[in-house]
Structure 1
Amino acid sequence: MPEVSTHPLLDVLLAGGARAERMTASRVLPARTARHADWPDWADATVVQGYRKLGVERPWTHQALAADLVHQGRHTALATSTGSGKSLAFWLPALSDVRTAAASATLDPGNISSARARPTTLYLSPTKALAADQLSALERLLDAAGTRDVRVATCDGDTSREQRTWVRDHADVVLTNPDFLHYSLLPNHRRWSRLLKGLRYVVIDEGHAYRGVFGAHVSHVLRRLTRLVERYGGSAPTFVVASATTAEPAAGAARLIGVAPDDVTAVTQDASPSGRRTVVLWQPPEIASWRPAPVGDAEVGPLSRDRSSDVPISMQRADLTEPDPWAVGSQGPADDPEVDAVATEAPPEHPRRSATAEVADLLADLAASGARSLAFTRSRRGAESVAQQARDHLRHAPDAAGRIAAYRGGYLPEERRELEQALRTGDLLGLATTNALELGVDISGLDAVLIAGWPGTRMSLWQQAGRAGRAGADGLVAFVAREDPLDTYLVTHPEAVFDAPLEATVFDPANPHVLAPHLCAAAQEAPLRSEDLAAFGDPAHVRGILDVLVARGALRRRSSGWYWTHHQPATGLTDLRGAGGTPVRVVEHGTGRMLGTVDAASADGQVHDGAVYVHQGTTYVVTHLDLADHTAVVQRRRLDYGTWSRSVMSVAIEGWDDDEPRAEVDDTGHDLVTRQWGPVTWGLGPVEVTSQVVSYQRRRIPDMQVLGTEQLELPEHTLGTVAVWWSVPEFVLRAADISAEQAPGALHAAEHAAIGLLPLLATCDRWDLGGVSTELHPDTGEATVFVYDAYPGGAGFAERAYDLGATWLRATRDAIAACPCADGCPACVQSPKCGSYNAPLDKDAAVRLLDAVLAHDPGVTHPAA
C-alpha cells in the first residue's frame, strides 16, 4: 500500500479539503538516511578543516568514492540527486592538489623540479549564474579553511581585459562556460599556456544539459581542449561529469568527452540524507465561462524560443513555448511564430482555470503560511504574472506580499544574484521563475515547489522537483496541469509521471554538420595531423569530412597535415547554442536605466512598439523598438491591460519546380531531391521557415476583453534549414476514408508522432526538430508533412529521415496503433512542444493516413489483387 503523506503543507494546498478534488494523484518518495565515510588520506588537511567549519564533519560515501576516483585520474560520472553535495567530490581533489604543489614549492624553493607547472582545474557550467554560484561557494570554503594560496576566478565574456589577464597568469581554478572555451580560450591557447600545461581536472557540471546539437558541439570543444592539453602537458586531463538526473551516466559522459564507455566510472548510489518528498498531481477546477481555443498545425521549432543568454539551447525547455494564453501578462497562442493559422473552435465542454492563475493562488497560500517556495512557469511573462497575482492575493498581508518576486532570463546579473541570495536567507518566501533556476544554483531549505505545466521532459520535472526539501528536510511538489491534452493525460495517468524512466541524453558527435566547423577550428588552433583524427571520431569518417573541406577551400592539405589559411577566425563558422543575434536592451525613458534584456529572436513579439513590458510587477509601455541599435525604450505606466502579439509563419521549399520536381542544388550546397512512392512524393532539401509579427491586441485585465488591435510593420525572420517532407494527393486521403474535416488532425497527429520517433533513427533530440503539417501546401499543391532541423543550415537529421523513410514511417505508424489510449496521448501523438496546444489531433485517422502512405512503399511486395 502506498505511503500516505502527512506533509503539513499539503493541507495548505488542499485548503483544509476545499480543494481536495483538484489533487488527482500523489506519491510519497521515501526518506533516505545518510551514509558517511572517512576523509581520504590524500585530502589536504586545511581543505578538510574548511569543510568541517562549514558543517561537513564527514563526507557522504558517494562523495568520498567519487573524490577518490577523480584523485586517481579516473574519468568519473557523478549522477546523484539535487542537493547531494556533488561539488565536494571534485573540489576536494582539485584543491588538495593545488595545496600540495604549493607546499612542495615552498618547502624546496631551490629544487628545480619544484618549478613544475602548478596543477590547474577548469570548471565548465552551462550558465554564468551557476559559475558565479560555484565561485561564491569556493570562496566561502577557502575563507573557512583560512588559506590564501589557492587562486580561483570566473572568466567569461563579461570579464574585463585586466581581470582576464590576471586569470591567465595566476588562477589555479578557472570557472567558465563552453562558449568562452570555444570563442576565446582555445583560439588564444598560447596566452593560456600556463593553465593548459598544468590542467589536471576538467569539471563539467549539469552534464544532462549537453544534449542535442548543443551537446554535439560541446563534445567537440572538449576534444579540441584535450588535444591542446596533450600538446602542452603531455597527458590528458581527468574529466568529471556531474548531473543530478540522467539516464546511462557513464555512456553519456564518455560520448561527451570522447572516450570509451569503459574509461568512465559512474557513481550513482546517493548517500546523502533526504526527507520524504510528497509529489502531487493537480488539475485546476472547471469554470463556468469559456474562451476560444487555438487551432494550428505546427510543432515548434527554433523561431519561437524564448531564449536567455544565460541559459543553453540544449537546456531552455521550460521557457520555450506554450505560455498560458489566458493568464495575466502572458502571451497568447497567436504569438507562436510557428503557427501560421490561428482560428477558433467550439467552446470546450468543461473549460478549466488556467495553470498560471492556480499556481499564483497556491504560491500565495504557501507564503502566507510561512513556507519558502519556488513556482516554475513556462514563460518569462508567466513568471511575472504568477508573482504579481500572488502579491495581489496577499494585499491583506503586506509583509508576505513584499516577499514574493519573479526570476527569469533577461534580468541583469546583479539583480539575479540578489534574488538568489534573498531566497537562500529567507528574505523571500516565494519566487516565480522560468527554468533559469532549474540548474544547480545552490538554494537549499525550500519547503515546496510548484510546476505550472509539463516542463517537457521527465529530467526537467525531477530537476525542478529536486529543489523541494533539500538539506534532508521533507518537501512538497505539485505539478499543476494546463488545459491541454498532454497535461490532462499526465495528471490522470500518474504512472506516466512516476514510473516511466528518464530520457537519454542524446547527441551525435559524428554529425558532419557539427563536426566540420570544429575540424576547421582545431586546424586553426594547431595543424591537424593524421594521428589527431581519432580524437574526433572514426578516422575514416573524419578524413572524409576533411576531404570535403579541402575541396570547398575551407582547409588546405599539406604533407604535414591540414591547415586553416583564412584570415577570419574559424570559430565563427558555428554557433554552439544556435541562439544568434544581439540581445535587445530594455531601457527606461528619462532615466536611461537598463531594466534587462530580451533575446533577439523574441524581441519582435515581446518589446514591439506599444507592447506592455512587466518587470517585478511594475508595468511599462514600449515607446520605441530600435532593432538597428538593439534597444527598446520603455515608459513606466499604471495600466489595466496587457498586450498579445500575433505572428504568421510560412515554409517555402527552395529550388522547387512545380511542374517537374527534380534533383538540383541550391547556392548553399544542399541538394534538393525527391522520389516517388506511386502518388506519394518524398522530398529532402533546403527550406525557409519565415516568421513575422504582424499585429498585437490590447486586452483588459482580468476579463481579457479585447480593447483594440494594432498593426505592426516589423521585419520577417527567416530560418534557412533542411527539411524532409512527404506529400499526399487528395484522392489518397479520400481512399483512406479521411474526410476534409479529418485531414488536419490526421496530418498533425502523424507529424507529432514522426518527430517523436525520429530520434530513434537519427541520434538527435526531439528538441532539435521542428515540424509543420498542412492540408494544402503552396509548393507541393498537396497535403504535406514537414520535419525540419531546428538549426540554421541544417544538422543532418532530415537527411537521415529521408534515407530511412520507410523504416521511420512504419515505426511511427506502429507506435500510434500500439498505444492503448483512445484518442491520443503523450506516448503517441501529443507533443510537449506543440505550438497549437495539441489541437486538432485525430489518432485513428493518422493510422489510416500512414497505412495509405506505406501501402505505396516500393520496397514492399504487395500481394496480387
Structure 2
Amino acid sequence: MPDAPAPTTNALLDVLVAGGRRADRLTHVRELPARDGVQGDWPAWADASLVAGYRALGVQRPWVHQTVAADAAWSGRHVALATSTGSGKSLAFWLPALTSVRADAARRALDPGRIESVARRGAVLYLSPTKALAADQLAGLQRLLDAAGTRDVRVATCDGDTSPDERRWVREHADVVLTNPDFLHFALLPNHRRWSRLLRDLRYVVVDEGHAYRGVFGAHVSLVLRRLRRLAAHYAKDGAPGPTFVVASATTADPAVSAARLAGVAPDDVVTVAADSSPSGHRTFALWEPPVVAGFEATHPDDPSVPTATEDAPEHPRRSATAEAADLLADLVLAGARTLAFTRSRRGAESVAVQTQDYLRPVDADLARRVAAYRGGYLPEERRELEEAVRSGAVRALATTNALELGVDISGLDAVLVAGWPGTRMSVWQQAGRAGRAGADGLVAFVAREDPLDTYLVHHPEAIFDAPLEATVFDPANPYVLAPHLCAAAAEVPLRSADLAAFGDPAAVTDLLGVLVARGALRRRTSGWYWTHAQPAAGMTDLRGSGGSPVRVAEASTGRLLGTVDAASADGSVHDGAVYVHQGSTYVVDRLDLADGVALVRRTDVDYGTWSRSVTSIEIADEPAHGDAAAGREVVERRWGPVGWGYGPVDVSSQVISFQRRRLPDLQILGTENLDLPERTLPTMAVWWTVPESVLAEAGVDADAAPGALHAAEHASIGLLPLLATCDRWDLGGVSTDLHADTGEATVFVYDAYPGGAGFAERGFELGATWLRATRDAIVRCPCHDGCPACVQSPKCGSYNAPLDKAAAVRLLDAVLAHAPD
C-alpha cells in the first residue's frame, strides 16, 4: 500500500503539541523561510558524457555554487566548499575530478603509442570520516557513470574491510579510490611503494565532511594529509603540480582557514565557496523542554530564581529527552511523517527505538515494525540494509546517533528530532538539514536534556539561531599528535630539513625531532632523520583516540558477531555483567577478555540496565612557569588575589571499579557489584582553579560541605564550557578535591578528554571569569532544590553524582568571582 501524502509542517507541529495538551513544553518556534535556487550553466570544460549522465538523473542545470567550486578546482585551486546539507556538494567535486580522469583516458585512446600516454593516468582520492559515507558515494558514482554510459572510469572503495585480492586490483587499476583517513594512515601511506601509481598521478584529493575533523581527530587527519602530499611530491615528475584539494563541509566559520590547516596549504591558496544557491524548503524549528515529573514544582512566590521544591522532589525533576523523543516519534509516525530522531549515545538510540515500538505496537503492529535503531558498532551489512530501508520507506522512523549526520544520502524526510544538543551549531544544522523532501517543507524539534547547556539553549533561542557558527578547531602542532606522525613520515621516506615546514614551524619541529632522537624513536644522520625499528611506525598513534582496536561483541553460544565497541568505552559498557542492547534485544556480558578484545554475551530478557562507576585522579605534570598559555605546554599560572588559575599538562588516571543494576524505567537501584579492571592513564591538558581556606570561609563552605560544593561547580562548569569552546560535554572531563597534593588547596580541574589535549581547556583558561559567571547563573536559575541534571548533576559522573551541594556551589562561585578582575 503506498504511503499517504506527507503532512504539512503546521500539521506536524500540531502533532507535537498534541492539539495544545503539550503546548507548555514548546519554548520557542522559529520559522525559517524557503529559498529559491539559482542555476548556472554547465562549464565548457565539463565532459559531455558526464553532463548527459547528470541530466539523465534529473540535474538539467547545476546550481551556481556548484559551478563556481567546480571551475576553481578545474583550474587547480584548492577549494573550501561550505554549503548546507543537500546542496549538491558532490557534483561540485566529481565533475572536475571525473572529467580529468576521462580526459586522460581519451588521450590514451587517441595516442596509445606515446610513453607519456601510457604512464600518465590521473587518479582521484576521496576521503570520508566513515565507511558508510564512502559506500554511499560509490553507489552514487556508479549511478552517474551508468547514466553517462561510460566504461572507462574505474571506481572502487578500499578500507579495512577490503580483501587482499581486491586491494591489489584497486592499486593496479582504480582511477577513483574512496577510502577513509584510517586506511590512509595504517595501510596506504606505510605501503606507498605499492601505491606509487596512484600517488604519482594523483590529481584531486576530496575531503568530505571536513567539519567532522576537529579536535585531536582533526589534528591527526591534518598530519596524515601532509604526509600524503609529501609522498605525492616524492613520486611526481619534476615540476608536476601537487594534487588539488577540495574540502567539502557543512557551513562553518572561516572555511578557508580550516581547509588550509587541514590540507597543510596556505589560506590564500584556498578558494571559499559558501554562498548556497540551492533551493531550500520552509522549515519550522521548535525548541522543546520535557515536562517536570510529578512531585516537583518551583513555588517561590517572590523570586523565581530562588529554587524551592516539595519535600518529595525526585532526583530527576524533568522527563528524560530520550523518553520524550520516543513519545514524539511515535506520534509523528502515526501522523504519517517519515522521521529521524538523533540521540547523543548508542544506548539512547536503542532506547528511543524500543520505546517508540512499544508505544506503536498496541495501535498498529505494522508501524511498530517500521521503526528501527541505527548506530555505530553495527555490522556493515546491517547498516546498509537500514539505510536502504529508510530510502525506500520500508522503515518510516529511525532513532540514530550522529552516524547519520554525515553525508549519507537519505532524503524524503518530513521531520527531524534532535534529542540533546549535539555539541555544536554546525552539527545541529547538519541534522536539521535532513528535514524536508528535496527542497520541500520540514519540521525540526530540538528536545532538551537535563543539562545546563540544553536548558540554557531552549530558553535562549538567540544562542542557536542568531549566534555565528563555530570554526573547526584543531592543533596539528600538538606534540602528542605530531610526534608519532613525524616517526611515520620518517618511516615512509627519511625526513629532510626541507620537509619540516610541511609539518609546522620548522624550529619547533626540529626541537621535537631532537626529543624523538633522544628517546631512541628516530636516528639522526647528516642526510636527515630515519626510522630504524622493525615495527610499523603508524602503529604509534590512534587517529580517533579510541585507545586501541575495537572490542568485538559476540554471542557466547554461537560465536555470532553482534557488533563492536570502542576500546576506550569497553571497560564501562561491556564489562562482566553489563547489559548490551542490539536492535531492541538485550544481552548480558558473561566475560570481557581485554587481551583478545572480545566481550562474550548471552541473549537474556532483563528489566534493568547497568551503569558503571569509575574513580579518577589527576596529577600536574610540570612545574609552574608564568607567561602566555599559548607559548608552550608548560604550566601557566594567574592570580585573582587569593584565587589561583592554572593551565598545563596533567596525567589523568581512571579506573572502572563497580557497576549498578537499575530497574527500567524508574531507575531504582537493584544492586551494586565490584569489578577488577586495569587503571588507564591519559596525558592531556587541563585548566584548574584553586581556592584557599580563606575563600572557602568567605563562602560559608566548611570542611563537610567543600567536597559537594566543588563537585557541583565542576559538573556545571563542564556543562557550560561548550558555550565558549568548540567542544561537547563528552570532549571534557573533570576532577575536584578539597585538597590536592600538587596545589595544596581545594581545586577544580577540567581537562580535555584526548591524549595531548585539544585546546578546549585552554579556552576555559582564557575566558575564566566569563565561564564561571555563566556557570554560576545556570545553577542559580535552575528551579530544582538540591541539584538536578539541568544544573549540577552529570550524565557521565563516575561516582553517581555524589556528593553534590548545589547551594554551597553557588556560594563558592560567588566568593571566587568576587576576586575576579573587572
Shorter-chain TM-score bucket reads 0.7 to 0.9
Q: Percent identity?
A: 65
Partner of 2:617: 651
How far, CA to CA, are the matches of 1:725 and 1:481 in structure 2?
A: 29
The amino acid across from 2:87 in the alignment is S
Partner of 2:395: 428
How far, CA to CA, are the matches of 2:723 and 2:191 in structure 1?
A: 36
Partner of 1:148: 151
Partner of 1:786: 749
Please tell me whether residue 536 in structure 1 is matched to residue 492 in structure 2: no
Deviation per CA, 1:700-744: give whole Å up to 9, x if none: x33444444344333433434455545433233214655554774
Residues 504 and 726 from structure 1, CA distance in 2 versus in 1: closer, same or farther, beyond 3 angstroms?
Answer: same
User: Which residue of 202, 215, 227 corresponds with 1:212?
Assistant: 215
Partner of 2:302: none
User: Which residue of 48, 51, 65 corresponds with 1:48?
Assistant: 51
Partner of 2:735: 772
Partner of 2:421: 454
Please tell me whether residue 687 in structure 1 is matched to residue 651 in structure 2: yes
Q: How far apart are 1:768 and its partner, in Å?
A: 5.4
How far, CA to CA, are the matches of 2:285 and 2:624 in structure 1?
A: 55
Deviation per CA, 1:755-782: give whole Å up to 9, x if none: 9779989x99987543222233466553
Partner of 1:84: 87
Deviation per CA, 1:456-498: give whole Å up to 9, x if none: 2211111111111141111100111123333222112211221
Please tell me whether residue 813 in structure 1 is matched to residue 769 in structure 2: yes
How far, CA to CA, are the matches of 1:568 and 1:117 in structure 2?
A: 34
User: Which region of structure 1 is more displaced relative to structure 2, 84-93 or 50-59?
Assistant: 50-59
Partner of 1:717: 680
The amino acid across from 1:377 in the alignment is T
Q: How far apart are 1:237 and its partner, in Å?
A: 0.6
User: Which residue of 245, 250, 257 corresponds with 1:244?
Assistant: 250
How far, CA to CA, are the matches of 2:766 and 2:697 in structure 1?
A: 21
Partner of 1:322: none
How far, CA to CA, are the matches of 2:687 and 2:416 in structure 1?
A: 41
How far, CA to CA, are the matches of 2:112 and 2:455 in structure 1?
A: 69
Partner of 2:529: 562
The amino acid across from 1:404 in the alignment is V
Any idea what SS the aligned residue of 1:286 has?
coil
Instruction: Tell me how many residue pairs correspond in the alignment.
Output: 776
Q: How far apart are 1:831 and its partner, in Å?
A: 9.7
Please tell me whether residue 13 in structure 1 is matched to residue 16 in structure 2: yes
CA contact (8 A) 1:750 1:850 kept: no
User: Which region of structure 1 is more displaced relative to structure 2, 517-526 or 247-256?
Assistant: 517-526
CA contact (8 A) 1:764 1:797 kept: no
The amino acid across from 1:351 in the alignment is P
How far, CA to CA, are the matches of 1:796 and 1:21 in structure 2?
A: 40
Please tell me whether residue 463 in structure 1 is matched to residue 430 in structure 2: yes
User: Which residue of 134, 139, 142 corresponds with 1:139?
Assistant: 142
How far, CA to CA, are the matches of 2:722 and 2:429 in structure 1?
A: 25
Please tell me whether residue 59 in structure 1 is matched to residue 62 in structure 2: yes
Partner of 1:299: none
How far, CA to CA, are the matches of 2:524 and 2:127 in structure 1?
A: 33
The amino acid across from 1:80 in the alignment is T
Unaligned runs of 5+ in 1: 292-344, 664-669, 802-806, 856-865
Partner of 1:607: 574
Residues 696 and 77 from structure 1, CA distance in 2 versus in 1: closer, same or farther, beyond 3 angstroms?
Answer: same
Partner of 1:485: 452
* Correspondence 1:141-540 to 2 at 5 A: 141-233=144-236, 234-289=240-295, 347=313, 351-395=317-361, 396-540=363-507
How far, CA to CA, are the matches of 2:359 and 2:552 in structure 1?
A: 32
Q: TM-score, normalised by structure 2?
A: 0.87
Residues 834 and 251 from structure 1, CA distance in 2 versus in 1: closer, same or farther, beyond 3 angstroms?
Answer: farther
How far, CA to CA, are the matches of 1:478 and 1:662 in structure 2?
A: 47
CA contact (8 A) 2:618 2:735 kept: no
CA contact (8 A) 1:757 1:812 kept: no
Partner of 1:317: none
How far, CA to CA, are the matches of 1:692 and 1:815 in structure 2?
A: 30
* Correspondence 1:580-729 to 2 at 5 A: 580-639=547-606, 641-653=607-619, 686-699=650-663, 701-721=664-684, 723=686, 725-729=688-692
Please tell me whether residue 848 in structure 1 is matched to residue 811 in structure 2: no
Residues 518 and 425 from structure 1, CA distance in 2 versus in 1: closer, same or farther, beyond 3 angstroms?
Answer: same
Deviation per CA, 1:585-640: give whole Å up to 9, x if none: 2222433221112222222332233333222122223333333332223222333x
Unaligned runs of 5+ in 2: 1-7, 298-310, 626-631, 783-789
Residues 275 and 764 from structure 1, CA distance in 2 versus in 1: closer, same or farther, beyond 3 angstroms?
Answer: closer
The amino acid across from 2:418 in the alignment is I
CA contact (8 A) 2:349 2:401 kept: yes
User: Which region of structure 1 is more displaced relative to structure 2, 723-732 or 675-684?
Assistant: 675-684
CA contact (8 A) 1:508 1:764 kept: no
How far, CA to CA, are the matches of 1:604 and 1:509 in structure 2?
A: 29
How far, CA to CA, are the matches of 2:465 and 2:692 in structure 1?
A: 43
Residues 144 and 497 from structure 1, CA distance in 2 versus in 1: closer, same or farther, beyond 3 angstroms?
Answer: same
Deviation per CA, 1:165-201: give whole Å up to 9, x if none: 1111111001111111111111111111100111000
The amino acid across from 2:768 in the alignment is T
Any idea what SS the aligned residue of 1:7 has?
helix
How far, CA to CA, are the matches of 1:411 and 1:94 in structure 2?
A: 32
Any idea what SS the aligned residue of 2:568 has?
helix
How far, CA to CA, are the matches of 2:611 and 2:168 in structure 1?
A: 45
The amino acid across from 2:512 in the alignment is I
The amino acid across from 1:237 in the alignment is P
Residues 172 and 636 from structure 1, CA distance in 2 versus in 1: closer, same or farther, beyond 3 angstroms?
Answer: same
Any idea what SS the aligned residue of 2:354 has?
helix
Q: How far apart are 1:564 and its partner, in Å?
A: 2.1
Residues 851 and 553 from structure 1, CA distance in 2 versus in 1: closer, same or farther, beyond 3 angstroms?
Answer: farther
Aligned-residue RMSD, C-alpha: 3.4
CA contact (8 A) 1:155 1:176 kept: yes
User: Which region of structure 1 is more displaced relative to structure 2, 216-225 or 85-94?
Assistant: 216-225
Any idea what SS the aligned residue of 1:427 has?
coil
How far, CA to CA, are the matches of 2:485 and 2:728 in structure 1?
A: 20
Deviation per CA, 1:478-521: give whole Å up to 9, x if none: 11112333322211221122111111111122223322222222
The amino acid across from 1:565 in the alignment is T
Partner of 1:24: 27
How far, CA to CA, are the matches of 1:48 and 1:850 in structure 2?
A: 63
The amino acid across from 1:378 in the alignment is R
How far, CA to CA, are the matches of 1:506 and 1:8 in structure 2?
A: 40
Residues 630 and 734 from structure 1, CA distance in 2 versus in 1: closer, same or farther, beyond 3 angstroms?
Answer: same
User: Which region of structure 1 is more displaced relative to structure 2, 610-619 or 212-221?
Assistant: 610-619
Residues 721 and 499 from structure 1, CA distance in 2 versus in 1: closer, same or farther, beyond 3 angstroms?
Answer: closer
CA contact (8 A) 1:373 1:429 kept: yes
Q: How far apart are 1:414 and its partner, in Å?
A: 0.5
CA contact (8 A) 1:816 1:847 kept: no
Deviation per CA, 1:207-237: give whole Å up to 9, x if none: 0111112111111111111111112113211
Residues 688 and 165 from structure 1, CA distance in 2 versus in 1: closer, same or farther, beyond 3 angstroms?
Answer: same
